């Protein structure tokens, strides 16, 4: 997810994530889960960060075997109960030399699945989070989201987007070995899409964040003191003041 932080976490373990289609206000009430393609900004010393700020202008990317690369921006929402989803943003495709070969908008066309995983940053009680993108009091969580999408002038495909916080990787060792995950990322397959190499993005500051306004959702909420705490379905969320979203 972020190079310096992953290196720091790996050491400690060794020792012991434009114009965007967005649901209308009415639809958003039916789609309580949201995702943002996020840019992470570490606060303080990058080798020993004091916190992180989330920016909603993230551009996660993935590469194909021929060296071409796709970069996405945007956001969206879904409801796993009704199996519906909306959202979208912008895409850019470059060849192996870095020349832009295609660009345009992309849209979510259908929901496929979501797998939630337990765990969050795990960087200690003093680690602060800023720029919370979800509504105040909404929990955030890690996991894998799979959506059907359409890229303007390129066709249909399957987008997988994942948020894997450091603590999650420690809780689920198979994600690193043999799956090869180190952090957040995306992949796009189906049709002519073969963007499955996520390794560079997972070591970058481009990622994915998931939130939910469903009161039954467990996850991690941001109180007013800026230190994320775990919320369970039995615990009402602690509300946090609204924060401006960076663009």
What is the reported pLDDT for 14?
35
Residue spans per domain, the chain: 3-231
pLDDT digits (tens, 9 = 90+) for 28-55: 447 999 999 999 999 999 889 999 999 9
pLDDT level of residue 20 (50, 70, 90 thresholds): very low
pLDDT at 221 over 50: yes
- Residue 193's Cβ-side half-sphere holds a number of Cα atoms within 13 Å equal to 28
Calculate what percentage of the chain has a pLDDT beyond 90: 77
What is the reported pLDDT for 21?
42
Q: What is the number of other CB atoms lying within 10 angstroms of the CB of residue 61? A: 21
What is the reported pLDDT for 46?
86
What is the C-alpha to C-alpha distance for residues 247 and 238, in angstroms, rounded to an integer?
26
What is the reported pLDDT for 233?
62
């Amino acid at each position: 997810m972020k190079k310096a932080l992953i290196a720091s976490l790996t050491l400690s373990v060794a020792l012991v994530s434009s114009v965007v289609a967005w649901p209308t206000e009415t639809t958003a009430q039916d789609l309580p889960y949201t995702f943002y393609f996020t840019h992470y900004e570490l606060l303080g010393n990058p080798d020993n960060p004091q916190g992180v700020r989330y920016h909603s202008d993230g551009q996660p990317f993935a590469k194909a075997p021929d060296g071409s690369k796709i970069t996405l921006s945007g956001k969206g929402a879904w409801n796993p109960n009704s199996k519906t989803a909306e959202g979208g943003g912008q895409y850019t495709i470059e060849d192996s030399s870095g020349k832009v070969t295609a660009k345009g908008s992309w849209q979510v066309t259908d929901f496929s699945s979501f797998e939630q995983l337990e765990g969050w940053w795990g960087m200690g009680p003093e680690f602060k989070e800023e720029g919370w993108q979800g509504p105040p009091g909404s929990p955030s969580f890690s996991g894998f989201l799979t959506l059907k999408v359409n890229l303007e002038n390129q066709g249909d495909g399957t987008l997988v987007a994942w948020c894997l916080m450091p603590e999650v990787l420690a809780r689920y060792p198979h994600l690193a070995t043999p799956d090869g995950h180190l952090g957040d990322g995306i992949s796009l397959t189906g049709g002519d899409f073969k963007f499955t190499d996520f390794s560079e993005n997972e070591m970058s500051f481009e990622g994915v964040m998931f939130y939910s306004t469903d009161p039954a959702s467990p996850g991690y909420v941001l109180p007013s003191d800026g230190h994320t705490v775990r919320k369970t379905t039995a615990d009402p969320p602690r509300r946090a003041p609204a924060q401006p979203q960076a663009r």
